[in-house]
């Protein structure tokens, strides 16, 4: 009896040790390269830089200031709108694209490459192109609408159209997410489909009962990474609009707000506080998402 | 891979073609711009076929912008990063997926959380750290940390490893395999598709990374392609669009070729079904 | 055998010679032809003296990520190129050094520079950098558009009232109600604060004066331009404007008749305008109680990091680089104006001076020269001013309320520094 307990204890200990051995590269890297910058930024968030570069401890001031700032709330609102609408739609479109290009057909590889192309083209180039495409006066979209007798919207020149434009542009970059879904689709055994087919299941039923459930880990990955990157993103805004987030700050996102505070206004302390607020918001959102996925799985 | 009826196949094919037109457009536009002269860019309406058709931009890249040197630098940094990230991350991901150990989920949450802090505020303390190590001005800050795992890759691979049925490992154990063998012989081959996918993304990000090389390299001769492109577009006046596009294209080309040619590996990689029975 | 020996001795001598020199690292922010012009100046410096070798490294300024990171480390370059708005924040935080002593020692003072330029880069008595070249804004008008509207093409509006009238006359709509040409549209709003007799700060004390009566009047007038055109129509029209440095430049295409324009736009017109295009450059129109010779100056700076190991040598190099001859050469390459007086007379610079450029030089040398306040939080001030204008334009606040708020807010912020 005792021996069995001892043996299983030994096994558990061995497994723990092995687990730590395997993850040790990351732990080492975290302790050496990541921990210090993280703690330093936390420290900075309670300070401001004074004359001669001296850091002054100001307690919760930076955090309290943030809650009083109009731009803080505006950037949170803009980010939530863009992410809340953009992420689900982009996920669905990437998944649909992956399903489409998972069907055996001629030139499949070529199609996949083409769908992936916009993700490879540098942002400066796509930015320039989009500016032209969405140009309300000279661009092809409004030109086409005009021929149909419809007056096109102002796109980036109209504060109420800025967000739809940005979401529209993001669809072009679904190639990356699509590739990850494609990789996920390969892990679904063909036998499952064959068996379902024999049972006479429709393709919709197969998608619902086989593909989607088995794809859940990949979907969770894509959604979480989508949230993390979307909450921090801002480079596209700078290229397409400007440092203030375009007309009436309609594109002022949280990442941009941090960026301008850190590098344009030289308020590293305030920017650090903003970043820690973002970390908390992101962590809560990701936590809810994970819980949602887990409930679905059960 | 899904097989469907012939009639549907045609519909699907046509859909793919139509969508492709949308997705290939920016690329064609870049190719076209790169073969134009500075003045043609502003032609209205825009011509997709350049007339005259000139390759000055490409020649300019290699004669005046020293592109070959930057190619070599970028290849070096990207190659080392790929090596570092893939080896370390797959090991770590396996550790998180396969073993049970105390604080496992807490540690994994910390790993996820490190991605949630924007780089804007960790950038400077990170620089100070590498400065103390004496690495600044060399390729070390770009390469060495990658050997300690990339969070994105660890997360992705763990998601895949988690789906591998436990029975495979149990069966192997009965045959006397230890954990290292299980990792190399079962998990890695099964995760061919996600590992290759990770490689693609790590390649893409490192190859096009601007901020890290910009901050850590202090010598023109060590710069990478993305900084070279920045130089082209940072005259005080209007950037030289054909040269900028030609440079962007040359930069994107290796990734496109890599993706196209290695498709079979990472999308049609080994599936679990292949190992059954 | 002998040959090899001589050769190796020669190489040895050359190498030791090279190593005995101090190496100065210079961060150059320009690509293109401007970058090449600077490189050739540096080569010249390396060949005319024996004490130091300047090594130029391309370091784009961007938003200063590379600069801020590097300045937090131990190995720093000896000279960095930065935007003007970065100078005081970096200096105030002790990352770049005040040059007062070195300037005094070398006898460079106010008189060396064009009037008003000396203050550029000063904060509370310390001068943190030297301007590279200057950009100057003036009033530009399209003579052809004036003719079409029945105005005298050779006389620009003299006062604000005339400017408003001309704007009405020059603004043109198509039959379908779309804009064809905008009369005028103020962009750099702080210029008008000075034109209306106001000011943004007290250069002596460094205190800000956001709610100066002149500024309030300027804001009221600026807001009136917001309701002049139908907003949506105007924005869509403006979205179709191409980049200034392209043939789609709206001024050259007769899509805006009067505008604020910098001296380098002369070059743009030369390059992209139709031969029939005629335009004039002049001082800004101003109200009779305001200032009629306002000259806004902006540009980039060279600074020396506090952690530089060779500050004296770096300063000597900068002194040379900003000396009249080199300043003239570099400014000519950028189509900018040199900040030092004597450079204006240099034949190298004179080559690019035509009738139009001369107007800019006159404005700069005789006018009321101002730069946007260089404060430790200058950019915060600027974005608050922009926000205030938006509030006035949208009718959320009166000009006085909006500017009072900026005054209170920025003063409070500044007190922290």
pLDDT tens, N- to C-terminus, chain C (417 residues): 566 666 666 666 556 555 568 999 999 988 778 888 999 999 999 999 988 999 999 988 887 899 999 999 999 999 999 999 999 999 999 999 999 999 999 999 999 999 889 989 988 889 999 999 999 999 999 999 999 999 999 999 999 999 999 999 999 998 888 899 999 999 999 999 999 999 999 988 889 999 999 999 999 999 998 888 888 888 889 888 888 888 889 999 999 999 999 999 999 999 889 999 999 999 999 999 999 999 999 999 999 999 999 999 999 999 999 999 999 999 999 899 999 999 999 999 999 999 999 999 999 999 999 999 999 999 999 999 999 999 999 889 999 999 999 999 999 989 888
CA atoms in the 13 A half-sphere facing the CB of B106: 3
First-to-last alpha carbon distance for chain A, in angstroms, is: 36
Residues 30-89 of A with CB under 8 A from B: 30, 32-34, 36-38, 40-41, 44
Mean of pLDDT values over B75-103: 96
Q: Where do runs of H (alpha helix) occur along C26-176? A: 32-48, 65-71, 84-92, 100-105, 143-148, 160-170
- Beta-strand (E) ranges in A122-170? none
Paired sense of beta strands C130-142 and C279-282, if any = antiparallel
Phi/psi region, residue A125 (left: phi>0; alpha: psi -120 to 50; beta: rest), is alpha
Tell me how close the Cα of A25 comes to any Cα of chain B, in angstroms: 5
Tell me how close the Cα of A248 comes to any Cα of chain B, in angstroms: 25
Q: Do B260 and A41 touch (CB under 8 A)?
A: no
Q: Which residues on A lie below 8 Å from C95 (Cβ)? A: 53
pLDDT tens-place values along chain A, 298 residues long: 577 777 888 888 888 999 999 999 999 999 999 999 999 999 999 999 988 889 999 999 999 999 999 999 999 999 999 999 999 999 999 999 999 998 888 888 899 999 999 988 887 778 878 888 888 888 888 888 989 988 889 899 899 999 999 999 888 889 999 999 998 888 787 788 888 888 888 878 888 888 899 899 999 999 999 999 999 999 888 888 888 888 889 999 999 999 999 998 899 999 999 999 999 999 999 999 999 988 876 6
CB atoms within 10 A of CB B84: 20
Q: Which residues on B lie below 8 Å from A260 (Cβ)? A: none
- Quick check: helix, strand or coil at residue C100? helix
Q: Do C380 and A265 touch (CB under 8 A)?
A: yes
Q: Which residues on C lie below 8 Å from B236 (Cβ)? A: 30, 32, 34, 264, 334
pLDDT at B67 over 50: yes
DSSP assigned state of B46: P
Of B222, B239, B37, which Cα lies nearest the Cα of C32?
Answer: B239
pLDDT at position B237: 62
Paired sense of beta strands C22-28 and C79-83, if any = parallel
Paired sense of beta strands C79-83 and C294-303, if any = antiparallel
Which residues are C27's β-sheet partners? C57, C80
Of B255, B197, B252, B206, which Cα lies nearest the Cα of B81?
Answer: B206
How much is the pTM? 0.91
Measured between alpha carbons, how far is B124 from A37 in angstroms, rounded to an integer? 8
- Quick check: helix, strand or coil at residue C27? strand
* CB proximity B119 to C under 8 Å: no
Q: Which residues on A lie below 8 Å from C413 (Cβ)? A: none
- Quick check: helix, strand or coil at residue B244? helix
Report the residue of C126, C236, C391 to disrupt the A interface, i.e. the one with the largest count of A CBs within 10 Å: C236
- Whether B187 and B161 have beta carbons less than 8 Å apart is answered as yes
Q: Do C89 and A266 touch (CB under 8 A)?
A: yes
Tell me how close the Cα of A79 comes to any Cα of chain B, in angstroms: 14
Structure tokens at B184: 């190399």
Residues 30-89 of B with CB under 8 A from C: 39, 41-42, 44
Tell me how close the Cα of A276 comes to any Cα of chain B, in angstroms: 7
Structure tokens at C4: 């090899």
Q: Do A157 and C92 touch (CB under 8 A)?
A: no
Phi/psi region, residue A248 (left: phi>0; alpha: psi -120 to 50; beta: rest), is left
Return the residue of A nearest to C67 by Cα.
A263
Tell me how close the Cα of A264 comes to any Cα of chain C, in angstroms: 6
Measured between alpha carbons, how far is C399 from C412 in angstroms, rounded to an integer? 20
pLDDT at position B76: 97
CB atoms within 10 A of CB A79: 23
pLDDT at position B60: 84
pLDDT at position C44: 95
Structure tokens at C172: 């043109």
DSSP per residue, C189-219: HHHHHHHTT--SB-TTT--B-TT-HHHHHHH
Paired sense of beta strands C256-262 and C179-184, if any = parallel
User: Model confidence at B272, in pLDDT bands (50, 70, 90)?
Assistant: very low
DSSP assigned state of C114: P
Phi, psi for C128 (deg, rounded to 5): -100, 0
DSSP per residue, A102-129: TB--TTHHHHHHHHHHHHHS-HHHHHHH
Tell me how close the Cα of C297 comes to any Cα of chain A, in angstroms: 20
Q: Which residue reads 């930024």 in tokens?
A: A41
pLDDT at B204 over 60: yes
Paired sense of beta strands C52-58 and C22-28, if any = parallel
Measured between alpha carbons, how far is C388 from C402 in angstroms, rounded to an integer? 5
Q: Which residue reads 């009232």 in tokens?
A: C161
Of C332, C382, C378, C387, which Cα lies nearest the Cα of C92?
Answer: C378
Measured between alpha carbons, how far is C110 from C124 in angstroms, rounded to an integer? 16
* CB proximity B232 to C under 8 Å: yes
pLDDT at position A1: 56
- Whether A3 and B123 have beta carbons less than 8 Å apart is answered as no
Give how far Cα B33 sits from Cα of A129, B36, B47, B245, C158, Å.
Answer: 11, 5, 9, 7, 45
Phi, psi for A20 (deg, rounded to 5): -65, -35
pLDDT at B4 over 70: no
CB atoms within 10 A of CB C394: 12
Nearest to A137 among C94, C237, C383 (CB): C237
pLDDT at position B236: 57
Chains that touch C (3 or more CB pairs under 8 A): A, B
Q: What would you measure as the largest C-alpha separation in chain B, in angstroms?
A: 72
pLDDT at position B268: 58
DSSP per residue, A178-218: HHHHHHHHHTS-HHHHHHHHHTT--HHHHIIIIIHHHTHHH
């Amino acid at each position: 009896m005792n021996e069995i307990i001892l043996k299983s204890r030994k096994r558990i200990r061995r497994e723990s040790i092995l687990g730590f051995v395997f993850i040790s590269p990351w732990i080492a890297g975290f302790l050496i390269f990541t921990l210090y910058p993280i703690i330093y930024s936390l420290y900075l968030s309670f300070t401001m830089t004074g004359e001669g570069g001296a850091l002054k401890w100001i307690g919760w001031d930076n955090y309290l200031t943030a809650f009083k700032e109009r731009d803080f709330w505006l950037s949170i609102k803009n980010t939530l709108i863009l992410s809340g609408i953009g992420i689900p739609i982009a996920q669905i479109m990437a998944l649909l694209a992956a399903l489409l290009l998972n069907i055996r057909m001629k030139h499949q590889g070529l199609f996949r490459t083409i769908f992936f192309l916009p993700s490879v083209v540098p942002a400066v180039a796509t930015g320039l192109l989009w500016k032209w495409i969405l140009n309300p006066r000279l661009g092809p979209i409004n030109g086409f609408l005009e021929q149909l007798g419809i007056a096109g919207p102002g796109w980036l020149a109209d504060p109420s159209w800025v967000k739809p434009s940005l979401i529209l542009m993001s669809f072009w970059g679904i190639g990356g997410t699509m590739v990850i879904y494609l990789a996920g689709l390969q892990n679904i055994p063909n036998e499952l489909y064959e068996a379902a087919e024999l049972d006479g299941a429709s393709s919709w039923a197969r998608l619902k009962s086989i593909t989607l459930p088995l794809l859940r880990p990949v979907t969770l990955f894509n959604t979480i990474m989508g949230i993390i990157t979307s909450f921090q993103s801002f480079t596209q805004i700078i290229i397409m609009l400007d440092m203030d987030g375009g007309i009436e700050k309609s594109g002022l996102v949280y990442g941009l707000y941090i960026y301008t505070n850190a590098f344009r206004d030289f308020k590293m302390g305030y920017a650090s506080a903003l970043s820690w607020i973002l970390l908390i918001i992101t962590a809560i959102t990701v936590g809810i998402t994970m819980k949602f996925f887990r409930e679905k799985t059960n | 891979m899904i097989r469907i009826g012939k009639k549907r196949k045609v519909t699907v094919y046509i859909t793919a073609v139509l969508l492709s037109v949308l997705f290939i457009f920016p690329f064609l536009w870049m190719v076209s711009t790169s073969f134009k002269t500075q003045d043609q860019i502003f032609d209205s309406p825009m011509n997709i076929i350049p007339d005259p058709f000139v390759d000055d931009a490409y020649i300019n890249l290699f004669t005046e912008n020293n592109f070959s040197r930057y190619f070599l630098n970028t290849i070096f940094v990207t190659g080392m990063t790929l090596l570092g990230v893939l080896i370390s991350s797959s090991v770590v991901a396996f550790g998180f997926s396969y073993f049970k150990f105390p604080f496992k989920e807490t540690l994994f949450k910390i790993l996820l959380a490190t991605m949630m802090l924007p780089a804007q505020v960790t950038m400077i303390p990170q620089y100070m750290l590498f400065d103390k190590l004496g690495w600044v001005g060399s390729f070390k800050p770009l390469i060495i940390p990658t050997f300690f795992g990339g969070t994105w890759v660890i997360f992705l691979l763990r998601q895949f490893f988690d789906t591998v049925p436990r029975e495979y490992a149990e069966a192997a154990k009965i045959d006397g395999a230890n954990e290292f063998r299980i990792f190399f012989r079962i998990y890695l081959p099964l995760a061919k598709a996600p590992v290759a996918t990770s490689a693609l993304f790590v390649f893409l990000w490192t190859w096009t990374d601007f901020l890290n090389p910009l901050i850590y390299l202090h010598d023109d001769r060590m710069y990478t392609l993305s900084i070279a492109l920045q130089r082209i577009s940072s005259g005080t006046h209007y950037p030289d669009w054909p040269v900028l596009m030609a440079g962007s294209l040359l930069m994107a080309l290796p990734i496109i070729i890599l993706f196209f040619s290695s498709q079979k590996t990472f999308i049609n990689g080994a599936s679990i079904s292949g190992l059954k029975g | 055998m002998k040959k090899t020996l001589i050769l190796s001795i020669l190489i040895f001598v050359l190498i030791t010679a090279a190593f005995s020199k101090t190496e100065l690292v210079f961060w150059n922010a320009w690509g293109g032809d401007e970058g090449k012009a600077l490189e050739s100046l540096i080569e010249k410096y390396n060949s005319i003296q024996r004490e130091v070798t300047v090594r130029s490294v391309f370091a784009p300024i961007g938003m200063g990520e590379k600069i801020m990171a590097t300045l937090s480390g131990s190995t720093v370059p000896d000279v960095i190129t930065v935007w003007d708005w970065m100078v005081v924040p970096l200096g105030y935080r002790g990352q770049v050094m005040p040059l007062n002593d070195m300037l005094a020692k070398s006898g460079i003072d106010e008189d060396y520079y064009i009037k008003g330029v000396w203050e550029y880069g000063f904060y509370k008595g310390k001068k943190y950098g030297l301007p590279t070249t200057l950009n100057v804004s003036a009033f530009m008008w399209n003579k052809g558009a004036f003719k079409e509207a029945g105005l005298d093409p050779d006389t620009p509006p003299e006062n604000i009232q005339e400017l408003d009238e001309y704007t009405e006359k020059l603004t043109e709509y198509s039959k379908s109600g779309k804009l064809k040409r905008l009369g005028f549209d103020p962009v750099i709003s702080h210029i008008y604060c000075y034109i209306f007799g106001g000011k943004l700060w007290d250069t002596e004390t460094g205190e800000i004066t956001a709610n100066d009566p002149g500024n309030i009047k300027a804001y009221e007038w600026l807001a009136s331009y917001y309701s002049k055109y139908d907003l949506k129509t105007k924005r869509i029209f403006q979205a179709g404007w191409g980049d200034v440095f392209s043939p789609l430049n709206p001024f050259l295409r007769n899509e805006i008749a009067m505008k604020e324009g910098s001296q380098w736009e002369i070059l743009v017109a030369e390059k992209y305008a139709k031969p029939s295009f005629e335009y004039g450059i002049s001082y800004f129109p101003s109200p009779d109680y305001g200032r009629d010779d306002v000259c806004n100056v902006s540009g980039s700076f060279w600074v020396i990091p506090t952690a530089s190991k060779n500050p004296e040598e770096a300063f000597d190099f900068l002194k040379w680089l900003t000396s009249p001859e080199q300043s003239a050469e570099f400014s000519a390459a950028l189509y900018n104006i040199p900040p030092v007086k004597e450079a204006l007379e240099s034949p190298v610079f004179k080559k690019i001076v035509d009738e139009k450029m001369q107007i800019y030089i006159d404005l700069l040398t005789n006018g009321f020269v101002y730069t946007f306040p260089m404060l430790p939080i200058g950019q915060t001030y600027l974005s608050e001013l922009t926000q205030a204008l938006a509030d006035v334009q949208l009718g959320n606040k009166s000009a006085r309320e909006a500017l009072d708020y900026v005054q209170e807010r920025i003063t409070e912020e500044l007190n922290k520094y």
